[in-house]
Amino acid sequence: MPQSPPEPDPTAVGRRVRALREARGVSLSALARRARIGKATLSGLENGTRNPTLETLYAVTAQLGVPLAAVLSGPAAEPIVRGAAVSATLLEVFDDADATYELYRIRVAPGPGQLSPAHQPGVTEHVTVFAGVLRAGPADAPLTAAAGGHLRWASDVPHIYTVVGDEEVAASLLLRYPRR
């Protein structure tokens, strides 16, 4: 039986979040307010006493102006991050002159969907569906794709991931973060 990828180490993630926040000269209160999360949640994240959810990490990294991979332990360990409906495993990070790319293997569970916060301006998401039917994209105009289909959208707005039907969705997710 294959082993599940490890959860990211909350202490290491918290250290990275704190270091990024402090390097930018942003207070804990200011970052919590900008990310629209509780100050206690951010404090717990930075102290490693809270397991970070995908939604929380995206909200924080968007406000820090960094890709999600900047706070994870890196692709070699293949950490898995869970949200309300999405489980994402970081496979690789690519850099080129114009952008940073993060490649994830994702699973989306049937049932209530997931609302993801906006990423920083210019970020795009590209999803290729391998199994199931996925509705994803901007919360006010989601797109739908079945196995073999592809979705693309600007993710600098709140966006959703929802399964259509009862079959879990298996997909790849490529995020493109433009260089500023």
State pLDDT tens for residues 8-41. 678 888 888 998 888 888 899 999 999 999 999 9
Nearest residue to 106 via CA among 81, 70, 123: 81
pTM value?
0.69
CB within 8 Å of 107: residues ≥ 6 apart: 86, 87, 168, 169, 170, 171
State pLDDT tens for residues 93-148. 888 999 999 999 999 999 999 999 999 999 999 999 999 999 999 999 999 999 99
Residue with tokens 């997931």: 114
